[in-house]
Amino acid sequence: MPYQRDYYFHIETLWNEPLAGQYLVAFRHCYEMNYQIITGSETLIESWDNCFIDMKEYEKAGQPEGYVWGANWATAYPGFSPIENSAKAQAWTQKLNKPMQEVQVEADIMRINLVYSTWDIRKLNNETGLISQVFFPFGE
């Protein structure tokens, strides 16, 4: 968010109509966050050059092998998973006397854990242009 307490994910889905589109999933009162890269060191070394943080520079470099940080999107698989009986959430619940939860988000080569109080989701539009280029539906 434009302030530091809450965090959001801008997601695009191919959920069944009329649910397909772009959403903001907001986690409110986030007081602990962990960001971890979960790929091997080979990918990180391969993606070390600064051309990987800027799409124009990456394309100008001939689209070398590696992870393109500058794409500014990632496939969220397996996506959002609640952490049941989270020790971190329990500790924050005791500190604040407010119910807290933990969620884990896995995407491409990263894992993010957030300890938060509440969450909400808001549909922005029906756009699916990006995800439609990445995923191809199976035959019907």
Mean pLDDT score, 11-20 = 85
**Paired sense of beta strands 21-28 and 32-37, if any:** unpaired
When mean pLDDT is compared across 3-7, 30-34, 77-81, the lowest value belongs to: 77-81
Given a cut of 90, is residue 127 above it in pLDDT? no
Please tell me the distance from the alpha carbon of residue 104 to that of residue 48, in angstroms, as a whole number. 26
Confidence at residue 128, expressed as pLDDT on a 0 to 100 scale: 81
pLDDT score recorded for residue 132: 62
Q: Which two tokens stand for residue 82?
A: 């609640």
User: Residues of the chain with pLDDT > 90: what percent?
Assistant: 68
Average pLDDT, the chain: 90
Contacts of 84 (CB under 8 A, 6+ apart): none
pLDDT at 103 over 60: yes
Contact criterion met (CB below 8 Å) for 115 and 88: yes
Decide if 76 contacts 107 (C-beta within 8 A).
Answer: yes
Which is nearest to 35 in space by CA: 110, 92, 90, 132?
A: 110
DSSP per-residue codes, 87-129:
HHHHHHHHHHTS--EEEEEEETTEEEEEEESEEEEEEEE---H
Confidence class of residue 88 from pLDDT cuts 50, 70 and 90? very high
